Chain A
Amino acid sequence: MSLLHWAILSPFLLAIIIPLMYKYAKRVHTGWFVLWLPLVLFIYFISKVTKISNGTTIRETVQWIPSLNINFDVVIDGLSLLFALLITGIGSLVVLYSIFYLSKKKEKLHNFYVYLLLFMGAMLGVVLSDNLIVLYTFWEFTSLSSFLLIGYWYHRERSRYGAQKSMLITVFGGLSMLGGIVLLYVMGGTFSIRELIAQAGTLINHDLFIAAAILILLGAFTKSAQFPFHIWLPDAMEAPTPVSAYLHSATMVKAGLYLVARLSPLFAAEGIWLWLVAGIGLLTLVWGSFSAIRQTDLKGILAFSTVSQLGLIMSLLGLGAAALHYPIDDNIYIATTVAAVFHLINHATFKGSLFMVVGIVDHETGTRDIRKLGGLMSLMPITFTIAVIGAFSMAGLPPFNGFLSKEMFFTGMLSVLTLDIFNFETWGVLFPVFAWIASVFTFTYSMIIVFKTFTGKLQPEKLEKKPHEAPVGMLISPIILAVLVVVFGLFPNLLTDSIILPAASAILGDAMPADYHIHISMWHGFQPELFMTIGVVLLGIILYKTWPKWKVVYKPFTEKWSFNSLYNNGLKYMEYGSNKLAVNTMTGSIRNYLLYIFFFLIVSLGFTLFWKDAFSISLDNTAPIGFYELVLAVIISIGAISILFVKSRLTSIIVLGSVGYTVSLFFVLFRAPDLALTQLVIETVSTALFLLCFYHLPENFRKEERIRFKLTNFMISLGVGVVVTLIALSASSTKLFDSISQYYVDTTYTEAGGQNMVNVILVDYRGLDTMFEITVLGLAALGIYGMIKLRLTKQGGKKANENK
């Protein structure tokens, strides 16, 4: 185990100790015991930056299940490092924030931090694993811990609903992804991502390639809340705000982006991958920003804004993958990937700070409803400043980092116009148009967040608490993030060489020129991007000002026609349908179950018989029919058929007895004296037992009654009879080999010292069968004895053994 492995596992180990800390150090907020770990990890990962930016990758292996090719392989390259820094960095800030956000007295802090640490460790595992199965394991761990965190206030109905919804959707995606991973293993023979990418050229021709791509994408899309799986994210806002800031803006939802970025070199050769990633990303972007405006809950707006920003990054990743199809020199699509990476960082900073701001507003006023909020600017100046920085960055205004990444986004989208592969030349023109529209919406809702909350009139009567500025501890984390927003905006090249370039070259692999240099500048001249941004701002301001007037646009998108109701109804009707199915088939009536069993017997046997063309009749080996056999056959048929028509049960018992005695006569006729003897005695005993049963029947069951005729029963009985007869005929007509009985005939005396062959077979050749048959008899007798003697009554066995 290397230090790197311990780094991944350390949150899990700390999670074991946290409940003890909570129990025995009650005076200190449990969060302080947690805070050091992400900080230490962050510093640890920072220390790797220089090494990674020099182009090396760190690789460590620990054997887990070597026989199945599953090993705990950990690799750090630029992309993994970027994510690890985000996870630990934002993780530290979120833990710090949560110390002041969650009350020491009211909340079950040990649960919270255990879940959070589980999540942190799982997330580190996802981004650092090289083995797909290990990645999947950690992936499901993130789903599980996210489920626990969303349902943290489990006494609330909405929390449980949100937790269940996110669980169902992400686990659906996770399992699809597992399918994709298995397909990749079938194709490539390895679970290692690097080894798979190395064989990308041969894998693309495999039949399963597209199926694997789609399954993996399902996993990525559900995790990253892409259209139409985005519906779980707004409902996950029921979690405590630190959780929303950490999981649902900065880390977990980016796991899908990570996966897409990581596997791009493998799948990007396929056009469907490009179309799906870029197209679904763009759709998510537009739909998310469009839906965000209509929300009235601040966290709801941020949730949809997260959805739309994730779509933005996803579409950039999709288009960036086009770089693999063009010559290395002068490749404009590399910039698209760089934009994706840059925006990934920017989004984590401004969205994290915005969530924390909303948490502060919620914490200090008691509501998150923008219809109740207003005029907080003078009361909460610091919070307001942070909100302005975060929201303006999200809207894409200079001098913040969001402006830069949005310019790069426009550049990327405009470059679609020159894309001439996979039919992008026909529909690709829609990309910049949609991107521009989505940016306008983004601008509008960013303005709504800031100005509806902090400007206007204060409505103290609608607020639960008297609003005031947040405590310092709660402000530290958002201030740090806001400072980062500004710093990255003013000095965008701070991170290019150390983080962004290694990450981009990890995504693009060989397509990245060795001497590629990124230069992000605030001013890039009078390019189309600049005019697009000016247009965004102008139209955005108009939209914001006239917002109450064009609200009507949302009228057609009622709750009834949303994806939520599709999900809800889908769930409802699935439950309803399976319940109906169970109620209709599992009637509890044994008659029905027998009908099913016999029906399937007829279908499966009859179908096989004719499908395999096995039916045949040959009269070659048949013995001549004698007079006695004919007579006995007539007798037994009369007996068997008349049972169906007699009225009294007593008669049918006696007729059944006659059938049994006729069978024993058959045994005599076919020269089986042992069988005849036994059959005679057993038939007598069983007839006596039947009579005994009859004697004990309740009065109203003893009345004479004909068997009611039912067509289904008749058909099924007839079918079983016909099928079994046909099979018996075919079986006896096609003898494949001779019987082995000649051996018994020859050796009964010489080998076993007997002359009654039947008995010698029973006790000598096949004595084991006999031994267990007498065991069966013994068990039956003891069972009968037990049933009669031990009558446990309903009063808890008080009257038990009363018959002794």
Chain B
Amino acid sequence: MKTNDVILQTATKVVSLVIVLFSIRLFFSGHYYAGGGFVGGLMTSAAIVLIMVAYDMKTVRAMLPINYRILIGVGLLTAVSTGLIAVFQGDPFLTHYYGYFDLPILGKTSLHTAALFDLGVYLVVVGVTMTIIQSIGESE
């Protein structure tokens, strides 16, 4: 019997967007409020998992053609290279820099290399969670 998941699937379309937005919000607010790369990454994965539950793995793979194992590597690389910036500046590894900048459209904005590091954490967490869930889900 083929089940009809129309309510779930429709709801997913709306809810997953909200979750993604929430996860991005958690990620960016990390330095000032509760949140950060770790929870942000987990939330993003939660959104993807919700899509998986509502549709199936194939759809998700077509929608997001990402190899999550490579994502882990990219994340680690981001984190390490953030640390290496400081080395090239002549400071100890993982020294962070921050300050206010005048950007063309955004105007006066505070930028912080720690956010890049957090991005690495975020990518690794998404990659890790999705790798685990995908491999378990596809195994017999």
Contacts and interface: CB of A to CB of B under 8 A. Distances in A.
B89 interface: no
A586 interface: no
B139 interface: yes
B34 interface: yes
A689 B135 CA distance: 12
Contacts, number: 129
Q: Which interface residue of A767, A775, A778, A781 has the most chain B CB atoms within 10 A?
A: A781
A771 interface: yes
Interface stretch (B7-15, B54-62, B101-109, B124-132): B124-132
B79 A771 contact: yes
A777 interface: yes
Interface string A764-804: 10011011001101101110110011000000000000010
B80 A771 contact: yes
B61 to A, nearest CB: 15
Contact of A763 (B29, B33, B121, B128): B121
B114 A764 contact: yes
A759 B36 contact: yes
Interface string A670-683: 00011001100110
Nearest to A780: B128
A777 B124 contact: yes
Contacts of A774: 75-76, 79, 120-121, 124-125
A66 interface: no
A754 interface: yes
A784 B130 CA distance: 11
B135 A789 contact: yes
Contacts of B93: 768
Contacts of A768: 83, 93-94
A788 B69 CA distance: 14
A496 B129 CA distance: 92
B69 A763 contact: no
Contacts of B75: 774, 778
B39 A756 contact: no
B72 A778 contact: yes
A752 B96 contact: yes
B5 interface: no
A566 interface: no
A430 interface: no
Given A752-B114, A754-B112, A777-B128, A762 B98 contact: no
Contact of A781 (B26, B112, B118, B131): B131
A767 B36 CA distance: 13
A778 B68 CA distance: 10
A692 B136 contact: yes
A202 to B, nearest CB: 56
Nearest to B82: A767
Given A674-B36, A678-B39, A789-B135, A782 B72 contact: yes
B69 A803 contact: no
A782 B32 CA distance: 33
A755 interface: yes
B20 interface: no
Interface in B78-97: 79-80, 83, 93-94, 96
A762 B122 CA distance: 13
Interface of B: 26, 29-39, 42-43, 46, 68-69, 72-73, 75-76, 79-80, 83, 93-94, 96, 98-99, 110, 112, 114, 117-118, 120-121, 124-125, 127-129, 131-132, 135-136, 139-140
Question: Which are the 5 A-B pairs with shortest beta-carbon distances?
Answer: A673-B34, A754-B31, A753-B98, A781-B128, A774-B124
11 contacts: A674-B35, A678-B39, A685-B129, A752-B114, A756-B29, A767-B83, A780-B128, A781-B132, A785-B131, A788-B135, A788-B136
